[in-house]
């Protein structure tokens, strides 16, 4: 597994996504530990899964549009069960890691539609690097929320320093 794939699913610069999402129940994922917190764990993971799906569409040649406003990238309802959301996110990350390990295709150009700007052209590698960074950012927020809820580290471990 190359480093890009590890950044998407493995133990790279941070705990693996599967461990970060481990052993959280429905109550915890819908709890804001402080009034000033903008999003719950559920919302952070939903947002990551949403953008991951769009990124994978682009990488696979599907011209998927992006929301007009940032709020369009967060859930308007939370009816999807937490376990299903985790499975959807982790399956997408696994798919992205598989694409990252196909080194022959990493320099293939892909179209990345944007709102109010010309369409960007990136390579598959660049899109996956962007996805890995985006996931890392939001998974870091999940870790912080877990810490605030005294639910860190998870059973499979995570950095505590």
In this prediction, residue 113 carries a pLDDT of 87
In this prediction, residue 123 carries a pLDDT of 97
**What stretch of H or E contains 89?**
helix 82-101
Here the tokens at position 32 are: 């804001």
Tally the domains of the chain.
Answer: 1
Here the tokens at position 21 are: 């999402």
For the chain, residues with pLDDT lower than 70 are 159-161
**157 occurs within a structural domain:** no
In this prediction, residue 160 carries a pLDDT of 67
In this prediction, residue 25 carries a pLDDT of 96
CATH code: domain of residue 139:
1.20.120.450
Here the tokens at position 39 are: 């999003």
Work out whether strand 120-123 and strand 109-112 pair parallel, antiparallel, or are unpaired. antiparallel
**158 occurs within a structural domain:** no
- Residue 37 lies in domain: 3-148
């Amino acid at each position: 597994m190359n480093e890009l794939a590890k950044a998407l699913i493995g133990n790279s610069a941070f705990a693996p996504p599967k461990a970060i999402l481990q052993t959280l129940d429905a109550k915890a994922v819908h709890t804001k530990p402080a009034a000033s917190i903008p999003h719950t764990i559920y919302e952070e993971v939903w947002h990551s899964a949403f953008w991951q799906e769009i990124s994978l569409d682009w990488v696979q040649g599907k011209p998927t549009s992006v929301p007009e406003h940032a709020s369009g990238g967060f859930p308007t309802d939370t009816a999807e069960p937490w376990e299903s959301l985790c499975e959807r996110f982790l399956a997408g990350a696994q798919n992205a890691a598989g694409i990252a390990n196909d080194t022959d295709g990493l320099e293939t150009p892909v179209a990345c539609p944007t709102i109010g700007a010309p369409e960007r052209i990136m390579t598959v590698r660049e899109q996956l690097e962007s996805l890995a960074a985006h996931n890392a950012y939001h998974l870091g927020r999940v870790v912080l929320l877990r810490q605030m809820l005294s639910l860190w580290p998870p059973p499979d471990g995570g950095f505590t320093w």
